[in-house]
Structure 1
Amino acid sequence: MSVKEYAAPGAAPPKPVADAPPPDGRLTIRPARRARRIPRLPRAVRRAIGPVGLLVAWYLGSVTGVLPENVLASPVDVVHQAIELTSTGELPRAIAASGRRAASGFVIGAAIALALSLTAGLFRLGEDVVDASMGMFRAIPWVGLIPLFIVWFGIDETPKIALVALGVTYPLYFNIYGGIRSADSQLVEAARMLGLGRIGLIRYVILPSALPGALVGLRYALSTAWLALVFGEQINADAGIGYLMSNAEQYFRTDVIVLCLAVYAILGLLCDFVVRLLSKRLLSWRASFDGDGA
């Protein structure tokens, strides 16, 4: 019940009773406790914990015999093999050959994806013609087209580059097309009220709105390019990282196989790092969520 029910009529409401002073009459003021701040590791160190932990577990498994050499070579053997192949020049030549194939296929696939996504995203007729076809072809596993590419292009460099181009086209197309179609309708309406024509609307509103999706598609496309190259270089290759891997498979050289896989992974991480830097520069105007702010 409230205080008013027990108070006499016309009496003032009771005042809160202050804490009684200490017996000696002195008032002690205690500072508020500050929360203990847990020291935070630099972000680069936190990101390296996972890979370093995997390397340590791999090394311990090799030393203790949990991972026999015929199953998986130790990281020490992989490093020794990397030094040996680098000193002979075999590994740099393989990386250069694979890099040329990946770059050629990426340029071709990116050009096709950009043309198709702009056609489907900016024109209603283009959307009706292109998007349905791309959705249909996307359901076909592009790795399963290798035999058909061999029949069409032979066994030289062309089917390898074509496979990379095909793998790059799909993620770039769907991300750019989705970015164009998801442009903010309020921004579009505001641009029209300001008198922008179709060209200005596309240049200043539609394409900047599609840029985040395009960069996401670029990250997927670059990783897919290296993935496609792994399969493409199994087609009668005479140079490249896949060629080294195929030869190592015949002699059960797990150290060389793991080395080639590590090179593919490092190249993919370098491409992803470049795209991240590009995203920070091109999307500096865009507010983003950064986790816990650390």
Structure 2
Amino acid sequence: MEMQNTNKATSPTSNWGTVTVQRLLPWTIPVILVLLWQLGSSVGWIDANILPSPLGVVQTTIKSLQSGTLEKNLAISLYRALAGFVIGGVIGFVLALCTGLSKTMNLLLDSSVQMLRNIPHLALIPLVILWFGVGESSKIFLVAIGVLFPIYINTYHGLRSVDPKLIEMGRSYQLSKAQLFFKILLPGALPTILMGVRYALGVMWTTLIVAETLAASSGIGYMSTNAQNFMDMSTILMCIVIYALLGKASDLMAKSLENPMLEWQNAGGATHNG
């Protein structure tokens, strides 16, 4: 009994320490690299014309914020990314529902989608510019194409991977097609679908970087290209860091959805273990 009481008394502190370490550990290497970078710049090991110091990048960021340039271009990039993600994600999800739930639609569509998937979507840039010009439509279209296929593949795979015994059990309980989908198929496919969302978010930012670098008059990619013309390394690095932070933030947001949306799995596992 005394040993049990001791464990109960120390477990909250131990758990708090474990959670703190788990939260800080992923940031260890980035922080060390930034400190080494700043040290190398301060003692003259790194030429500022080649690689400005972290403090120099921070100063450039502050100036861009004060002038309003960064907020304007960041808002435009976010709009392009979100619009392309929603359009491509919805199309990919609907196509996957069609091919994953219907044998006829699978035979009709899946082969064609798989062929299109193997074409690098960034190779379409010259064609997209001829179709849509260099306006917003071309960038949103490219992002949508990039997002479409990861969403499609993972949703399709998730639906096809649902345990057939569960489907048969649902039919034996005389569930309607809608009930079968929402109570068995969709929950069973959800982990794979969410994995596709996280992968698609990465493709979204990669595609947007290229689209804004090649043909744009606004956006974070445009800021980077414009800075390149003036050899403004601080601004270029600022844009790279912003893209990295946006990618990390979107991935964390997608990951945060997994726990509440997959809570039923954890509850089921706990019940099973109990």
Range class of TM-score, shorter chain: 0.7 to 0.9
Q: Deviations over 1:46-75 (max 9, x none)?
A: 122122112112222323433322221111
Match of 1:227 in 2: 206
Alignment match, 1:218: 197
1:198-213 to structure 2, matched below 5 A, reads: 198-213=177-192
> What is the letter of the counterpart of residue 88 of structure 1?
S
The yes-or-no answer on 1:287 pairing with 2:263 is: no
Matches within 5 A, 1:15-94: 40=18, 42-94=21-73
| Distance (whole Å) between structure 2 residues aligned to residue 57 and residue 124 of structure 1 | 57
Q: CA deviation at 1:234?
A: 2.2
Q: Show the counterpart of 2:157.
A: 178
For 1:61 and 1:270, the matched residues in 2 are separated by 28
| Mean CA deviation greater in 219-228 or 66-75 | 66-75
Q: Does 1:277 align with 2:259?
A: no
Per the alignment, in what secondary structure is the counterpart of residue 216 of structure 1?
helix
* CA deviation after TM superposition for structure 1 residue 250, in Å: 0.7
Partner residue in 2 for 1:125: 104
Residue 103 of structure 1, CA deviation: 1.2
SS of 1:168's partner is: helix
Give the whole-Å Cα distance in 1 for the aligned partners of 2:226 and 2:178: 54
How far has the Cα of 1:96 moved from its partner? 0.4
* In the alignment, structure 1 residue 195 sits paired with structure 2 residue 174: yes
Length, aligned pairs only? 255
Please identify which structure carries the higher helix content: 2
How far is the alpha carbon of 1:226 from its aligned partner?
1.1
Check conservation: 1:160, 1:235, Cα contact below 8 A.
no
Please report how far the alpha carbon of residue 185 of structure 1 lies from its aligned counterpart in structure 2 after TM superposition: 1.6
Instruction: Report the Cα distance in structure 2 between the residues aligned to 1:133 and 1:66, rounded to whole angstroms.
Output: 54
**Structure possessing the higher radius of gyration over alpha carbons:** 1
What residue number does 2:3 align with? none
Identity of aligned residues (%): 38
Please, which runs of 5 or more residues in structure 1 have no aligned partner?
Answer: 1-37, 290-294
Give the 3-state SS of the residue equivalent to 2:217 in structure 1: coil
Secondary structure class of the residue paired with 1:233: helix
TM-fit CA distance, 1:277: 1.6
Cα distance, 1:119 vs. partner? Answer: 0.6
Structure 2's unaligned 5+ residue stretches are 1-13, 270-274
- Equivalent residue of 2:263, what SS? coil
2:83 is aligned to 104
SS of match in other structure, 2:184: helix
Answer whether contact 1:117 1:174 (CA < 8 A) is retained. yes
Residue of structure 2 equivalent to 1:4: none
TM-align CA RMSD:
2.1
**Contact 1:112-1:169 at 8 Å conserved across structures:** yes
Deviations 1:2-25 (A, max 9, x none): xxxxxxxxxxxxxxxxxxxxxxxx
**2:119 alignment partner, SS class:** coil
- After TM superposition, the structure 1 stretch with the greater mean CA deviation from structure 2, 192-201 or 127-136, is 192-201
1:156 paired to 2:138:
no
Deviations 1:115-145 (A, max 9, x none): 1110110001111122211211111111111
| Equivalent-residue separation in structure 1 for 2:242 and 2:161 (angstroms) | 37
Task: Give the SS at the match of 1:93.
Answer: helix
Q: Give 1:189 shift.
A: 1.9
User: Could you state the TM-score of these two structures normalised by the residue count of structure 2?
Assistant: 0.87
Match of 2:114 among 93, 111, 135: 135
Matched, 1:247 2:226: yes
Q: Pick which of 60-69 and 41-50 moved more.
A: 60-69
Answer whether contact 1:155 1:235 (CA < 8 A) is retained. no
Q: Which amino acid aligns with 2:39?
A: L
C-alpha distance in 1 between matches for 2:166 and 2:51: 56
